[in-house]
């Protein structure tokens, strides 16, 4: 079985996570893929395969004879798909010998256009996999799951020098809870990689510092006919707060290392409103400054409306893993070399987001992120390249070989 065949099987399993359910995993459907993966790993012969009470799948590929002292390397991917778009009843569509042009999806009249996604031209001649237009595909991160399982299968088949390899599949990454119950000590790896990125050969070890912020506003609601001098419209106060933030520091106007404020939720009435923000920046000082600015804006707007109430709650989510990876840059050097050995040009770039690896790195498991061969995550335009998935498996195998020489 190839990584592509495995992916097609996993993509059909509904695993969408959900915010604020109060359970782990956040949705019961994630158990279905967890149990399927555990069964496959046991069938392959991995050691100590388990699905724990938090829906985390783990197992170990035993070291090849003579390589028992090699450092234990781990590989992780997440099973859930984003709640931003439907991940139920996914029907993968194969486009063999893709011509590099626009891709018309069978349903909903959607077209993946090269004018919007220029990278598509680089995939000409390969096999492109999409959904049918009615759902996301789930390459984020079932492509990573498939590549890791295929890595395990090839190692268990023998003939490849390797130390012990630890594998894990986690729930709820898409809602920021993937490592919440992860036992780093029990996992047993000295170093690890998440396989949860974009193009094959991409290597990421810098990510945003991240925080979430909730602004609750209680206005003063009276009949609009007698509101003069009395009414405090909570929705207008919310608009005032947002207008006081730098207009150029939003996702649609930033790139690379530039951070942002992202208003990703606003609901309410004239009487009461709630705003949800995510705050991001690669630079620690700029990250702190952004949080301080939102605090200042909320305080000043609240003071300007003394009969209303403005309350802000900011919670840090994760931090830039760079400072945890820099003491062990061999992880990046070996990933680059592994890509080159597979005939792939490596690219090192910052993540404009976060991964489980960011939090795991601060939990004592240095864990940069590797590409999967997928693109356009979290929506119906998502796609993955079959040949690039197989290249990723080669890259993972090369990483394992390089550490067996350590």
pTM (2 d.p.): 0.90
Contacts of 147 (CB under 8 A, 6+ apart): 3, 77, 195, 372, 389, 392, 393, 396
* Phi–psi pair at 13, nearest 5 degrees: -90, 125
In whole angstroms, give the CA distance from residue 350 to residue 282.
8
Q: In what order do the strands lie in the sheet with 47-51?
A: 47-51, 57-61, 165-170, 73-78, 191-197, 369-371, 202-204, 347-348
Q: Which among 318, 336, 362 is the end of a domain?
A: 318
Q: Which among 298, 318, 338 is the end of a domain?
A: 318
Candidates 170, 200, 213; CA nearest to 363 is: 170
For position 261, what pLDDT does the model report? Answer: 98
The stretch 160-189 carries a mean pLDDT of 95
Residues 195, 58 share a domain: yes
Contacts of 193 (CB under 8 A, 6+ apart): 73, 74, 75, 76, 331, 335, 357, 367, 368, 369, 370, 396, 399
Residues 144, 100 share a domain: yes
CATH of the domain at 296: 3.30.70.360
CATH of the domain at 399: 3.40.630.10
Residues 355, 245 share a domain: no
| Secondary structure element (H or E) that encloses residue 162, with its range | none
The shares of helix, strand and coil residues in the chain, as percent rounded to the nearest 5, are: 35, 25, 40
Question: What is the pLDDT confidence band of residue 1, given thresholds at 50, 70 and 90?
Answer: confident
Each residue of 58-93: pLDDT tens digit?
999 999 999 999 999 999 999 999 999 999 999 999
Residues 68, 188 share a domain: yes
For position 176, what pLDDT does the model report? Answer: 87
Each residue of 19-52: pLDDT tens digit?
889 999 999 999 999 999 999 999 999 999 999 9
Q: Is 264 assigned a catalytic role?
A: no
Residues 175, 29 share a domain: yes
Q: Which of 40, 80, 141, 249 is catalytic?
A: 80
Each residue of 257-301: pLDDT tens digit?
999 999 999 999 999 999 999 999 999 999 999 999 999 999 999
The stretch 141-146 carries a mean pLDDT of 98
- Domain residues for the domain of 27 are 3-206+320-404
Residues 314, 217 share a domain: yes
Each residue of 175-217: pLDDT tens digit?
989 999 999 999 999 999 999 999 999 999 999 999 999 999 9
Residues 232, 330 share a domain: no
The stretch 12-18 carries a mean pLDDT of 98
The stretch 92-120 carries a mean pLDDT of 96
* Phi–psi pair at 29, nearest 5 degrees: -65, -20
406 has a pLDDT exceeding 80: no
Residues 268, 217 share a domain: yes
For position 355, what pLDDT does the model report? Answer: 84
In whole angstroms, give the CA distance from residue 374 to residue 394.
16
Each residue of 351-401: pLDDT tens digit?
888 889 999 999 999 999 999 999 999 999 999 999 999 999 999 999 999
Residues comprising the chain, all counted = 406
Residues 363, 301 share a domain: no
Q: Which of 40, 140, 141, 173 is catalytic?
A: 173
Q: Is 390 assigned a catalytic role?
A: no
Residues 351, 293 share a domain: no
For position 20, what pLDDT does the model report? Answer: 86
Residues 147, 260 share a domain: no
Q: Which among 271, 296, 318 is the end of a domain?
A: 318
Residues 295, 222 share a domain: yes
Number of domains the chain is built from: 2
């Amino acid at each position: 079985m190839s990584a592509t065949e495995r992916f097609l099987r996993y993509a059909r399993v509904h695993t969408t996570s959900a915010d604020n359910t109060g359970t782990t995993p956040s949705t019961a459907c994630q158990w279905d893929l967890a149990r399927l993966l555990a069964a496959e790993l046991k069938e392959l012969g991995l050691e100590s395969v388990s699905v724990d009470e938090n829906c985390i799948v783990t197992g170990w590929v035993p070291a090849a004879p003579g390589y028992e002292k090699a450092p234990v390397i781990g590989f992780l991917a997440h099973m859930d798909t984003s709640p931003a778009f439907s991940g139920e009843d996914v029907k993968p569509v194969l486009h063999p010998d893709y011509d590099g042009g626009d891709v018309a999806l069978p349903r909903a009249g959607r077209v993946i256009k090269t004018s919007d996604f220029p990278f598509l031209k680089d995939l000409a001649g390969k096999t492109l996999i999409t959904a049918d237009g009615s759902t996301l595909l789930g390459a984020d991160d079932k492509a990573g799951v498939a590549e890791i399982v295929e890595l395990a299968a090839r190692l268990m088949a023998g003939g490849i020098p390797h130390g012990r390899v630890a594998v894990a599949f986690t729930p709820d990454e898409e809602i920021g809870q993937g490592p919440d119950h992860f036992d780093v000590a029990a996992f047993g790896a000295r170093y690890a990689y998440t396989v949860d990125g974009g193009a094959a050969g991409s290597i990421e070890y810098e990510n945003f510092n991240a925080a979430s912020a909730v602004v609750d506003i209680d206005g003063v609601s009276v009949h609009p006919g007698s509101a003069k001098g009395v009414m405090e419209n909570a929705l207008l106060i919310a608009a005032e707060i947002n207008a006081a933030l730098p207009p150029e520091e939003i996702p649609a106007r930033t790139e690379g290392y530039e951070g942002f404020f992202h208003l990703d939720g606003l609901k309410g009435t004239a009487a009461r409103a709630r705003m949800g923000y995510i705050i991001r920046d690669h630079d620690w000082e700029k990250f702190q400054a952004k949080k301080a600015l939102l605090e200042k804006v909320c305080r000043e707007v609240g003071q300007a409306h003394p009969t209303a109430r403005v309350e802000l709650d900011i919670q840090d989510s994760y931090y830039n893993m760079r400072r945890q990876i820099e003491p062990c840059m061999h992880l990046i050097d070996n990933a680059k070399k592994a890509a080159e050995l597979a005939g792939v040009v490596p690219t090192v770039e910052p993540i404009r987001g976060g991964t489980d690896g960011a939090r795991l790195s601060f939990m004592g498991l240095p864990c940069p992120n590797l590409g999967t061969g997928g693109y356009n995550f979290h929506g119906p335009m998502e796609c993955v390249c079959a040949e690039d998935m197989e290249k990723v498996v080669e890259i993972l195998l090369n990483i394992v070989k390089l550490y067996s020489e350590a």
